[in-house]
């Protein structure tokens, strides 16, 4: 907290920020007022995310405005207006109708950033079905777990991903009835269908059925330190948070061009790569290619991006590239840069000011919160290293557990504790699918306990300290150690595994596995490479370990639980803390 605050100054052309008086906005705030800024379905039929994101603009004077600008890997550009997006999402909704997929049934996606993915998200929501994205780099096992646990009925994917990762899983997924191939012109059989063909014959007209704001809309899986992945349930009312954070945090202005670099397989790619910008009627830029420093800088300049939302990993890679983007590219239209996924180190904030001409704004939220909860705002000074201050309408606090289901609020500044949010905001998750007990354990009275440790200073700025559990954040992705351990345990040479996150400057943390071998197996470099390949094949590159270390014995409690905390302390040379429960 020793870094000096960055004073905010604005050029003459800079529009007035939407959030000017933070304190007064908190005093005057009401979610009902936010709801009144949205239209709601015609004839009082409720609230639907896709209607607020697309149809109200297409029907209200924004039909010819570019909603989605898609940049292909080879340089091709496709523009879709709000009228186009309305028609294409209507067609997808009608495709679901033709397949007798109804309200509440789950539609999954497994693809890169292709236009059909966006049609599918919005069409699914229009049909009052539930959309669940998967990350295309997942291996077969994480995919199978999520499809099975999420009761997948339909999967939108590509021919290559279907052949490589899905086809062999079909017998074990009896509920998965239809595969829609986004890049195939012909059906493969009566259940593996051509999405372009279906869209072509579907009607562009669709009437969104009545949608209760509490109807389930989105399902986002997040890994835990034990057990299977958790499916966080979000409802249509979440669009209020998406809209408000678009207004106050991302500071959307009429005519803005917005670029969120997150993959749609993660919650950021849905909440802020689709819903929030479209809810504001701005142009949402989508780049199908992966990170490449020069390409990203050319895109910022060439597309005249106004607001950019990216991840600390990408920022650190830009820093390491040695580029000074503002010296080589015209970034004069870039007004605001935000970062999310893991804490942003102060050096990166300062680098942004030097290399981009703008400081980088950090913000904090989780899959469970559904939207940004704490942020640095366009009109406020930035304190490098701080996640910022709570969104108007959000009450955040530092708490300590004092009993079962009870917490005590910390009132002294700079004291460390668990970060908690007062429940009741619109995008708060409504449950973990098929796991009510785990959901209940996330709350203490009226408070949602985030599991993150933080401090709050005297001015109400929050500072991230660390994690209260073993979740690994690598390149902006959340990895549960248990998932990695379980996969490695399937190798015949492996007896036990303990997995930790090891700090790494470029990606935040890398996944490291400590492996104890079966009797008769020899610890050598060849086996290490074999295990790395085995895990990568099962889990995908985003989840698989980058390092493996053989060990004769893993530290465990007397009850048999591997002490990951102790593994990490020994790896980093840190104090081991209380080892009273360690087995003899």
Which of 155-164, 224-233, 381-390 comes out lowest in average pLDDT? Answer: 224-233
Which of 102-116, 425-439, 446-460, 561-575 comes out lowest in average pLDDT? Answer: 561-575
Q: Measured between alpha carbons, how far is residue 507 from residues 341, 511, 529, 539 in Å?
A: 11, 10, 21, 18
Which of 256-265, 387-396, 501-510, 554-563 comes out lowest in average pLDDT? Answer: 554-563
Angstrom distance (rounded) from CA 424 to CA 437: 19
Please report which confidence band the pLDDT of residue 558 belongs to, taking 50, 70 and 90 as the band edges. Answer: very low
- Please state the separation of Cα 579 from the chain's center in Å: 35
pLDDT at 18: 96
Q: Is the pLDDT of residue 478 over 60?
A: yes
For tokens 């009607």, the residue is 203
Q: Measured between alpha carbons, how far is residue 128 from residues 50, 125, 214, 334 in Å?
A: 10, 5, 11, 36
pLDDT at 225: 42
313: left (phi over 0), alpha (psi -120 to 50) or beta: alpha
Mean pLDDT, residues 399-428 taken together = 90
Query: What is the pTM (predicted TM-score) of this model?
Result: 0.85
User: Which distant-in-sequence residues (6+ apart) come within 8 Å of 256 by Cβ?
Assistant: 277, 280, 282, 283, 306, 307
pLDDT tens per residue, range 496-523 = 888 999 999 888 899 999 998 988 899 9
Where does CATH 3.40.50.12780 sit in the chain? 32-452
Q: Is the pLDDT of residue 226 over 90?
A: no
CATH number of 32-452: 3.40.50.12780
Under a CB-based contact definition with an 8 Å cutoff, are residues 6 and 381 in contact? yes
Please report which confidence band the pLDDT of residue 582 belongs to, taking 50, 70 and 90 as the band edges. Answer: low
pLDDT tens per residue, range 243-282 = 999 999 999 999 999 999 998 888 999 999 999 999 999 9
Under a CB-based contact definition with an 8 Å cutoff, are residues 143 and 191 in contact? no
Under a CB-based contact definition with an 8 Å cutoff, are residues 544 and 511 in contact? yes
Mean pLDDT, residues 311-325 taken together = 83
pLDDT tens per residue, range 61-120 = 999 999 999 999 999 999 999 999 999 999 999 999 999 999 999 999 999 999 999 999
| Orientation angle between helical segments 312-321 and 346-355, nearest 10 degrees | 60
Under a CB-based contact definition with an 8 Å cutoff, are residues 439 and 463 in contact? no
Mean pLDDT, residues 421-438 taken together = 97
Query: Exposed/middle/buried for 347, CB within 10 Å: 0-12, 13-18, 19+?
Result: middle
Q: What is the DSSP letter of 428?
A: S
Bridge partners, 59 (sequence order): none
Options 3.30.300.30, 3.20.20.70, 3.20.20.110, 1.10.357.10; which CATH number does 472-572 get?
3.30.300.30
Closest CA to 377 of 127, 13, 2, 25: 25
pLDDT at 2: 56
End-to-end CA distance of the chain: 41
Q: Is the pLDDT of residue 215 over 80?
A: yes
577: left (phi over 0), alpha (psi -120 to 50) or beta: left
Under a CB-based contact definition with an 8 Å cutoff, are residues 483 and 223 in contact? yes
What is the CB neighbour count within 10 angstroms for residue 185?
10
pLDDT tens per residue, range 293-304 = 999 999 999 999
């Amino acid at each position: 907290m020793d870094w000096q605050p960055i004073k905010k100054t604005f050029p003459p052309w800079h529009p007035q920020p939407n959030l000017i008086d933070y304190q007064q906005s908190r005093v005057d705030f009401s979610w009902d007022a936010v709801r009144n800024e949205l239209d709601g379905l015609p004839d009082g039929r409720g609230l639907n995310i896709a209607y607020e994101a697309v149809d109200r603009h297409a029907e209200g004077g924004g039909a010819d405005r570019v909603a989605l600008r898609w940049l292909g890997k080879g340089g091709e550009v496709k523009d879709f207006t709000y009228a186009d997006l309305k028609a294409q999402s209507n067609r997808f909704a009608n495709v679901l109708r033709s397949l007798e997929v109804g309200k509440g049934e789950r539609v999954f996606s497994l693809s890169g950033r292709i236009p059909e993915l966006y049609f599918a998200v919005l069409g699914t929501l229009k049909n009052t079905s539930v959309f669940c994205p998967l990350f295309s780099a997942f291996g077969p096992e994480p995919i199978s777990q999520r499809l099975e646990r999420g009761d997948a009925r339909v999967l939108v994917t590509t021919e290559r991903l279907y052949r490589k990762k899905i086809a062999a899983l079909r017998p074990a997924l009896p509920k998965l009835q239809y595969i829609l191939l986004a890049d195939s012109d012909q059906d493969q059989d009566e259940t593996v269908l051509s999405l372009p063909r279906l869209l072509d014959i579907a009607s562009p007209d669709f009437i969104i059925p009545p949608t209760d704001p509490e109807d389930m809309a989105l399902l986002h899986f997040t890994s835990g330190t034990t057990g299977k992945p958790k499916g966080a349930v979000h409802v249509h009312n979440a669009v209020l948070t998406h809209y408000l954070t678009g207004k106050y945090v991302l500071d959307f202005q009429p005519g803005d061009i917005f670029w969120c670099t997150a993959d749609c397989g993660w919650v950021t790619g849905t909440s802020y790569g689709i819903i929030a910008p479209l809810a504001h009627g701005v142009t949402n830029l989508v780049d199908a290619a992966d990170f490449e420093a020069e390409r990203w800088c050319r895109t910022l300049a060439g597309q005249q991006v106004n607001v950019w939302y990216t991840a600390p990993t990408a920022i650190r890679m830009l820093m390491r590239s040695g580029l000074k983007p503002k010296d080589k590219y015209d970034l004069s239209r870039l007004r605001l840069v935000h970062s999310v996924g893991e804490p942003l180190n102060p050096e990166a904030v300062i680098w942004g000011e030097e290399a981009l001409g703008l400081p980088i704004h950090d913000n904090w939220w989780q899959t469970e919160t559904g939207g940004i909860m704490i942020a640095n705002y366009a009109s406020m000074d930035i304190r490098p290293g701080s996640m910022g201050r709570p969104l108007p309408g959000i009450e955040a606090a530092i708490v300590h557990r004092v009993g079962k289901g009870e917490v005590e609020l910390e009132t002294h500044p700079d004291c460390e504790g668990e970060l908690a949010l007062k429940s009741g905001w619109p995008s708060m998750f409504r449950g973990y699918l098929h796991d009510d007990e785990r959901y209940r354990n996330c709350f203490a009275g009226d408070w949602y306990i985030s599991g993150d440790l933080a401090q709050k200073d005297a001015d109400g700025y929050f500072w991230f300290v660390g994690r209260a559990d073993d979740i690994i954040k690598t390149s902006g992705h959340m990895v549960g150690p248990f998932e990695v351990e379980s996969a490695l345990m399937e190798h015949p040479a492996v007896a036990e595994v303990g997995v930790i996150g090891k700090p790494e400057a470029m990606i935040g943390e890398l996944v490291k596995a400590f492996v104890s071998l079966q009797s008769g197996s020899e610890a050598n470099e060849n086996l290490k490479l074999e295990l790395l390949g085995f895990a990568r094949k099962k889990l995908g590159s985003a989840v698989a370990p980058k390092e493996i270390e053989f060990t004769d014995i893993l530290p465990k409690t007397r009850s048999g639980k591997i002490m990951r905390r102790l593994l990490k302390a020994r790896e980093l040379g840190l104090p081991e803390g209380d080892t009273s429960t360690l087995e003899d």
